[in-house]
Structure 1
Amino acid sequence: MKKTRITSIRSSLAWLVAACLFPATLTAALLLAYDYQRQRAELVRDTVAHARALMHAVDREFAGAEMSLRSLSTSPSLQSRDFAAFQAQATALLHRHYANNIVLIDASGQQRINTARPYGQALPKATNMAQLERVLQNGRTDISDLFIGPVLKRPLINVAVPVYSGNAVSHSLVAVVLPEHLQKILSDYRFPSDRIATIFDASGVIVARTHEIHQFIGQPLGSDLTQRLTEVDEASLEAVSREGIPVLSVFTRSPTSRWGVAIGIPIASLTGELRHSLWLLGGLATLLLASSLGLAWVMGGRIVQSVRALRSAALSLGDGRVAAVPALEIREVDEVGQAINRASLMLTDASKALTDSEARMRGIVESATDAIVILDDSWNIVLFNFAAVTMFGCPLEEAIGTPFIRFIPERLRGDFSAQLLAPRELDLQDREAPAIEVATAMRLDGDEFAVEISFPQVLAGSSQVHTLILRDITARLRIHEALERSNLDLQQFAYVASHDLKTPLRSIGGFVQLLEKNYADKLDERAIALIRRTAAAANRLEQLTDDLLSYARVSSGSRAFTPVDCSEVFEDVLQLLDAPISASGASVTARPLPTVTGDRTQLVQLLLNLVANGIKYCDGPPVVHVSAELHEREWVFSVKDNGIGMEPKHHERVFEIFKRLHTQQEYTGTGIGLAICRRVVISHGGRIWIESAPGKGSTFRFTIPASAGESSSS
């Protein structure tokens, strides 16, 4: 058999130091690289922003020249061919703008005026005939590339606008912009000294530059940048500047003038700080590794000496002798040595501590208000606390050792035995309360009563103890039964009161109708009006009685909740409101509604009241929409209308019984409908509120808890 290699403390500490330093060093290097990439990306984004801003400034200069030229092109002197007066106007315009000179060129290419020369002096033909052709054909502003002017004999840029004679372009009016003006715009941005910023024309020719402009003006951009410009209008790439410097170049191009700006950042500036940080990190890591290994070797020796001092003490403890460990240098090892010294003394005190613990536990059990009974494997009683003695009326000495089944009525013992034998897994990680069941128990004198029994499982060594915790719920059941009887009495009273009120009301209504029908010709208008007011009051009182009955049903109803498809509830509401919907021309719609657990009749009543309110309280054709959304563990229903709305101060008041915001002459009603809605929602465990403002309609929202397994929509 191959012998397992045993590693010493010193070598383990050395490997631990190396293992700890390596990932830390690697992580630091990765963080440096990540930080470099992040800073590079941020620098590119900032540089793109600067390039865009600079390009906007160039476009702004061209646009200013265009606006000045277009204003000048409508001069009456130009229309009357008074070129002398027109040159004077153009010269005056130059004092307010940055253009070097203004030129008027006819369709043949002949310069008619040029503010760089006195009027009347012979002028040459234009050399940039391609720009003239574009202006004459397209009738649009044109910005030229850099070229040599025929008069100034130096590089310049033309901004040309068309001059119309009737509907045709007869001349081209040109503002001459010198590269020095764009060079000034570039200088005003004050780029860092190592940045190489360039303004180039539509053909990629350098017009202005922060470095060596006199050497490179009029020359094309580098080949890499020129190739990239043919593919995209904005990007970044690594290239070589005209001076031969490797740079990270960021460029952007104007979508209108097609001119562009490029900004180069030397690669050396980007990577210099990273290289310095990496060298510093390597040196620090090497120094830290060497010093840590040396310290680990020294500390390992101290630990070895202290641990070896414990060996003889441990052998003495194993032989039952008193251990004597001297003070050691390592605190943790010294603590182990002192613990060994105390171990023999603690063994003698263990039995006494166990006895005290059992006494405390018994005191807790005996002082408990619930009956606690512990059974052995044969279901015989081994512990019967004082509360159990009082509950069952059985002395302690008579209960101990007897089967607990004696306290269950004989007819129920079979079912109770099955409950006791039901398997219950013991999960020490489960912090939920043990299952509680209701059963019928019997006192020693034969009196039966209801109890709640919980079956917590307790470990005793390696086995489980069968524990019963019992609580007498006789008083609670009596209160519950009294509450149910009270609800039934209230419901019966509501029905009787409704019937007794509605019968004479119907008689009054019938008598009033007969009086109007048979004696209308014998009564004056005032009497007829009183009869009709009496009939209206009787009808309103009958409606109030019906609403009170509905309110009582919601208050005292105790029907079991069942799954209810709210889309079917909505269809029932549409049928019940068919007459008012048709009479008002209302539009009542709904999204697919969910299935919830509740009372179908009450939910129909809830939705009926809310939709009916949306139809009633509206000055124009009503529009009502019903929807529902699932939020966490509840459905939020919305009934939205386009009615008259209400002020926020009334949002709570409208849910109170008999609280109305309008007179009977304005809108009929009893003031009970929304109170019923709130009762229904509360009985379903939800809440209801309103979102409304005067003239902006109302949205009633209410919630119903969502049970596990309910469908999201019908």
Structure 2
Amino acid sequence: MKAAHRHQDTQSIGTLKSEGQPSPKRRPVRTYLAWLVVACLLPCAIGATGLFYFEYQKGREQLAKDTTQTARALIQAIDNHLLLAKALAQTLSTDEALARGDLAGFHERARQVIALSGLGTNVVLRNLQGRQILNTAIDYGKPLPASHAPEQTQGVFATDKPTVSDVFTGPVLKRPIMSVDVPVRLGGNTVYALGIGILPEHFNTILNNQALPSDWIVGVFDKAGTIVGRSHLPDKFVGQKLTPELMEALGRKSEGVIDGRTKEGIPSIVVFSRSKATDWGVAIGISRTSVAGALARTLTMIALGAAILFCMSLLLAAYVGRKIAAPITALTGPAAALGTGSSVSVPDLPLKEAHEVSVALDQAQAALMQSKEEARAAAERVQLALAAGAIVGTWDWNLQTGRITVDERFAESFGIDPSLGRTGLSQEQVIATVHPEDLPDLRVAIAEAISRGGPYSREYRVRGTDGLYRWIEANGRVDHGVDGTPLRFPGVLIDLERRRAVEAERDRAAQLLRAFVDAVPGVVYAKDRDGRLLVANQGVTDLVGKPPEAYLGKTDIEFLDNKEQAAIVMATDRRIMESGRPETVDEEISFSDGRKAIWHSIKAPFRDAKGQVIGLIGSSVDITARKQAEAALHERTDEVAHAQLRLQMALTAGRMGVWEWSPATGEATWSSQMFEILGLPASDDGRTRGELFLAMVHPEDRGKVDAALARALNSGSDFEAETRIIDTDSRIRWLLIRGNVVSQIPGRPERVVGVTVDITERKEAEQALLDADRRRNEFLAMLGHELRNPLAPITTAVQLLELVGDQPERRHAALQIIRRQAEHMARLVDDLLEVSRVTQGRIELRKENILAASAVFSAAETVRPLVRQREQTLDLDVPTDVDLVADQARLIQVVANLLNNASKYTQQGGHISVRVRAAGDDEEWVEIVVADNGPGIDGELLPRVFDLFSQGTVTLDRSRGGLGLGLALVKRLVELHGGTVRAESAGPNMGAVFTLRLPRVDRRQVPRNLAVGLPARAIAPTSFLVVDDNPDALEMLVMLLEADGHRVGRARDGEEALTVARRFAPRVVLLDLGLPKLDGWEVARRLRADPATAGALVIALSGYGQASDRERSRDAGFDDHLLKPADIDAVYAAVAAHKERRNAS
């Protein structure tokens, strides 16, 4: 083309010279002047136009060269994506689930892998006939399309090698799609073809990620020339063929530049490159309008200026005529210099017209310089457009000459002088700044690439102009001649620094997560939406008794031996994931050896970035020992069992804080929970100093913690310690610390990561259990003493009765002893039952408006014999006009208990006082104060003086008696009234003061109740049937009834009772519940069903007197329920009450 231009220029000049030769015809000077003007201006215009066209052609060639490099880089990225997809497909083809024929498991794993990889859309498995066996785009088990074997699948079976398909319409998705297919070998034979489907959107994403200029139209096409991905209007053109002219060019060569049109019909410069590895290609269309726009504007300005100048020159030539010959001659030199593009200086001419011509020459020179500047700016814009992408440099290596030319960005990345990069460098000059650790392998890789030819890709570190090493990726292609001689080695650089930084941060986070999971006590795990275990710590392995490979990737029902138990666990997990709310559950685990355990589990749904639930995370702790301890305590006494149950329920899992500490720098990073545990304000980024924690360790534990930490750092082993700390409020808290030492180099620990658990509540609970056990033992010892005390005189009295014979006085004395001691034992049992009922809230207060003085006086009379016996004084300061709403009997019981305690614990001859007063701003309270001058209350006992079984110092002879129940009963009864009670003691031998505070209301609010008198002891003679399997109890009750003149029948079991009842027809039946053969409830039901005994009064006798026991007796048909041992007065009272109810009805 350049030769053609030179030929045309020569012809033009020759024509001008022949036309300029003188002829016989004489012409006016205006004509010569016009020809002179034409001769001057025409070469300038032609020269300027040619020069700009030359610059345009040079810029177009550079643009085509750079765009070709970009196309090569893009097809390299496409190849990488396809090769990664092929690698993923080959990996899946060897999956264990597929090898053992578990298609359902393989379907799930393939679906997860393809989703996580982002390399494709679905995975398809075909058999030798080409039919789909599995498709992750369709749920497993659903029907699959009956499509014919595609061409790529046939190629896989025919060649036993991987294939890359062209674009086709997927039978499932009904959209354009391509696939990478690999053979699946089982037993040495190819039995399946496994394909990964890739939608055009994946290639569109690759194009869009390159940040190419917005007016470039970039497309990816397959072997058949079908468009696979496109940067503009992909939905419209994906699946269509390339333009005919591009298809024709691809038929001739695999890479090049053509003038053509895009699919939209836009005239463009089309740069294309096709991969030798996959035979796929990339085409880039750059609108000719955008490239030629600057040229068109400049040519228009030049043409317009030249036309104006030409017209002005002709007019001036006609006007000045002969006077311009000399000045025009003077202008010939500058005009010629301007035509060569040189800078010229036009002389100052006296002739006006000649001066105007010189001005026009100056303007032409300015226009020419502007054209050059615009051409330079256009070249800069091309470079800026290239810099906007991920590419940070290009090179071109002439393998024939050994010289390497690089652009400025390449030179900056490699720390090379840009001027040397333009003139050409040797290989050693270029790689001189490569990191020494990467240089040997880089040399080998370059030599191999040059030897084999084709694509080249390598990641390594290089030192830039700033002296810092950065990771880059070099991608290129070695071109060989037809004889195999290496010719060229062009390529591009891609910055990998950010990707490397992200990968390093990801690895660090994964390491921290692994350390945290391993350090957490108990069991920690994560499951997917279908219940398959994804992450688990060592606790899971210990729990299930199987290695991780036996349960990871499987559901509970797949790896647990107890399927019923596994189904319950999975149902709980599904409920939590469906509700989206965390839960705390206790789960029972059964082991293969018959053992059972209870695990306390905290489970919560796991969500993705969009907030969708994708799985479940949880932690579990074995609480079997705690549950067993609760059950063991429950078997002893109801009171201790309830107390211990409340204690166990109050214990919760301790808070946990995560931390990381650098032994070298002392710097630490704490989670917000760690700051909270220590009672410290959290920093914004969690950073602090490790010494801050060590300074809070209790001085007695500091040596132990330092030693454990030193052992872990020296050996690289795990770190664990239990220690006390003193928090900012001067409170002592217990912590469990566990950590892992992280070392990149053995013996050089870099950091320690772990968790801290607040176990203060557990430690306090352990101490509380020890205290409760001690109090239980004290209570049992006291109970034994209190029970043996009455039993000893009873036993002696019985022996006396056996010896006295007919001595009435001694017999009467022995009987009185037995009566008193039996009543004492009954009161002990009543006290125990009373405390149980009150503490469990199973009593009903009968509140009425009463005078406080009435209750206090009654209580004083109750304890006066004891006060008199101990020679003590009792002072009462009780106004008679203070009233309140209360249950009078219970209030008497409360005050009597306090007075009884005061008398027992006050020395012989001591002083006791009772004071009653109205309190409060509106006198809305009544205070009853009981004080003594005894030994007082020990400081350690005072906080728990109202606890069950709590007592002061017990003497060896236990002379003060009691079971430690009285004050607990007082506190509960006062609280049921809505009041409070407090105990105070100024110190040893300073006495004790108990203050009751009860609410007071108006008299009119509660009507006064009338007391109901008890029936007389004796009733009219009648007939009784007494049934009891205890012979002694039976005979004693029969003798008492017969002594009062009643007819009495007797029976010792349920069947005998029914027989005697039918024969004897008693009016009253006293029936024990715990009978042999037939129990009391069944006997009562049969008595009610028999017409001969249906009208009898049936009274239950039992040692159980709870509300539920009385309710069961009523349901069985009993008229009343009495506690054993049955007092004869209680029997007569029940008979009398029944008679009154019958008469009233």
Length-normalised TM-score, structure 1: 0.39
Bigger radius of gyration: 2
Length-normalised TM-score, structure 2: 0.25
Higher-RCO chain (CA-CA 8 Å, sequence separation at least 6): 1
